[in-house]
Chains A and B, each alone.
Chain A
């Protein structure tokens, strides 16, 4: 690191010349993300989980393909071919791979369409929640004072609200048009940001005392810039870990609300709602309960294992050399 070695290198590139070409890639430092990906790749369970998540996502994206190939529309009722003469659904067979439901609809096609709702809610709500939680956590932790007091109390209030009572009341007063996607997203977002904000706030409280934050202030950086350019990169790893572990929680939350009839209204295909409908008839038609439940289980399990892998890859405690 001596002056002389630096001077030799400088001489090699020429004074004031911007180095270009292959040498530059060589000197590119490995970022947190590159290091994390290198660790993640070695985690076999997490890679399998990621593959499963990708497959489920493909099912959701190409759900209409299932309908085309089987020739069964998602809400199409097959009262002749899908139900026995006494109205009992058929189990898995060559026409209906996962069997039919109580109205003679193809469960496989409905599961594929149901994945759309689950993944959409899981990902969109998580993004909203992480954005709200990060911004409020950063503001509370860095700005302090009255802002911190207000946000910290708000976090306490939100964490102590009974979410189910809250959800039922909102649906019953017809908030956001009654049962449906908007109210699901609203309810889950309202109840999930507080945990993230609390974690971010704690992180920020320790980071704001670091000398490089004081250095940023001495350079004249605005609070806005310090929060988003200097502090955010230091909490983003934790945010991603929380986000990846939040997705399965949100998916189960959504299925739970739909199960209770507070979420996606029929006839739209939704896993929670399918599980609820199967309650009347599962003793005669086990497939009606088992396949949607398995889809839900597989999805949340894959996300959980994936989240664990992300945490192991990004955990700053393992980030020491």
Chain B
């Protein structure tokens, strides 16, 4: 069966205007050569820190942004360079659920009209028919259909996100890009929305790209997980494999930072502390982009960009972009890089890392 979505070497650069004449000199390498596929009915979790390009990737796939290079094939059709006008009919098939339930609903329009927008735009239903279908959708997502004439401001954050879900699912799309759909919500509400999305997926046979930075939610919803770092995909694997045997040192570091509910387990386990900050996406590091922060970095990592391949005898579905992948059971917290000082991020006190220098990853803000 052909995949719903095939992305090949997707590149998105944003020009940065500098200088007095505002000529573009630099570019932000937001997404730099990403390839993946999604099959029908599947959920692909897309995780990474703030600024790693995961939202940009989602927006490129939905063609809300123009693509710098590469190819996006949706349902057998190349949509990489379709114009806004050519994309319009395809918007029925690809929908987006946005992160901010306060920003993604027009404050001056009534909820019924917001949810009815897809019907109006694609000329599917009007008048009483539209109203009936909108109210069915409101019921489907657990809203009171009598609230049809209310304004977004009269709903709570979780209810607003339900409105966003109803709007995205109105035309029964094939692919839904959930761009951090729960990260702006309270934890108790997050579970409701996540369960709603799962139920609807089963009911309507939806395919999701689920963008998030919360690793436990991604684990809960995803079939496969893709991990991004600085515009590159560093590991892509079935969900249990990436959580049980992550190959990329960055994946290991991220997972070691996931909070554990039990304090006894939490104090026992070894956390991998990464040094420094994410480098600027305007001038990304040579070779493997993770090498300045990687505890296992070798000279080869500075010069050669590792390909996304199955490593250490993994099956084809589990790929990682690392020359020196992490073995099962290997303790990374003691590893030290063997590359020259120039390529490392050295802390002010001269240490490469120290127990006090706590720079955890994976605990990003609400972005």
Contact = CB atoms under 8 A, between A and B. Distances in A.
B62 interface: yes
Interface string B74-100: 000000000010011111101110111
Contacts of A220: 87-92, 118, 121-122
B150 A27 contact: yes
A221 B119 CA distance: 11
A215 B145 contact: no
A18 B106 contact: no
Interface in B176-234: 192
A15 B139 contact: yes
Contacts of A225: 121
Interface stretch (B153-161, B254-262, B287-295): B153-161
B336 interface: no
Interface string B250-275: 00000000000000000000000000
B300 interface: no
Given A19-B145, A321-B153, A212 B104 contact: yes
B342 interface: no
A294 B7 CA distance: 74
A212 B105 contact: yes
A214 B167 contact: no
B332 interface: no
Given A13-B146, A27-B147, A215 B108 contact: no
Given A211-B100, A218-B64, A219-B121, A234 B146 contact: no
How many interface residues does chain A have, given as a range?
35 or more
B98 to A, nearest CB: 5
Contacts of B103: 210-212
Interface of B is mostly: helix
Interface stretch (A3-11, A242-250, A259-267): A3-11
B169 to A, nearest CB: 12
Given A1-B158, A1-B159, A216 B149 contact: no
Given A215-B104, A216-B117, A233-B106, A13 B151 contact: no
B109 interface: yes
A227 B153 CA distance: 22
Contacts, number: 112
A6 B92 CA distance: 28
A95 interface: no
A218 B95 contact: yes
Contact of A218 (B62, B155, B192): B62
B136 A219 contact: no
Contact of B150 (A6, A29, A212): A29
Interface residues of B, number: 53
Contacts of B104: 211-212, 214-215
Most buried by B among A1, A27, A216, A220: A220
Contact of A234 (B92, B107, B158): B107
Interface string B117-153: 1100110000010011001100100111111111101
Interface in A201-236: 210-212, 214-222, 225, 229-230, 233-234
B289 to A, nearest CB: 28
Contacts of A16: 132, 135-136, 139
Contacts of A233: 106, 108-109
Nearest to A225: B121
Contacts of A211: 98-100, 103-104
A283 interface: no
A218 B91 contact: yes
A279 B89 CA distance: 68
A217 B108 contact: no
29 contacts: A1-B155, A9-B144, A10-B139, A13-B145, A15-B139, A16-B136, A16-B139, A18-B132, A18-B135, A19-B146, A27-B150, A29-B110, A31-B110, A31-B151, A211-B98, A212-B103, A212-B107, A214-B64, A214-B96, A215-B105, A217-B64, A218-B91, A219-B91, A219-B118, A219-B121, A219-B167, A222-B121, A225-B121, A233-B106
Given A1-B155, A216-B106, 10 more contacts: A19-B135, A19-B146, A27-B147, A27-B148, A212-B105, A214-B64, A219-B121, A220-B91, A225-B121, A233-B106
